[in-house]
Amino acid sequence: MRFNLMLSRFFTGNSASIDELLKSKEELLKYKQILISQKKHLFYITFDTKGNILDANSHFLNIMGYQKEDVIALNHAIFCEKNYAQSEEYQVFWRDLKNGNFQKNIFKRITKRASCKTNSQPICG
């Protein structure tokens, strides 16, 4: 995720607007640092809105028993039991994630070797 701020000539005559933009940039940088920290210390995986895997950090890959090249472009359903992945409940799970809703529950996920339990928090952007 990139955070860019571009100042244009429209703001050169209004120092209050520039100050607000600079404050916004500082806030965005703060949140960027939080995300970077979370990626380093939490199990972290990124999907597109269809559930295709875009990225995963080493913590996630280690616990799930995969190498990055094994999972990139595959669908999240590989981590679920087949019946669940085909269920209405699973469709609701993804619809809620797409809408930015935190998934407060314990979900059984299938690793390469066994299973584990997770929760899911979307970071939209």
b/e per residue 84-100 (b: at least 16 CB within 10 A) = ebeeeebeebbeebeee
What digits encode the pLDDT tens for the residues 101-125? Answer: 887 777 888 888 766 666 566 666 5
CB distance 1 to 38 below 8 Å = no
Q: What is the pTM of this model?
A: 0.65
- What ranges make up the beta strands (E) of the chain? 45-47, 53-56, 103-110, 115-120
**Above 90 in pLDDT, residue 89?**
yes
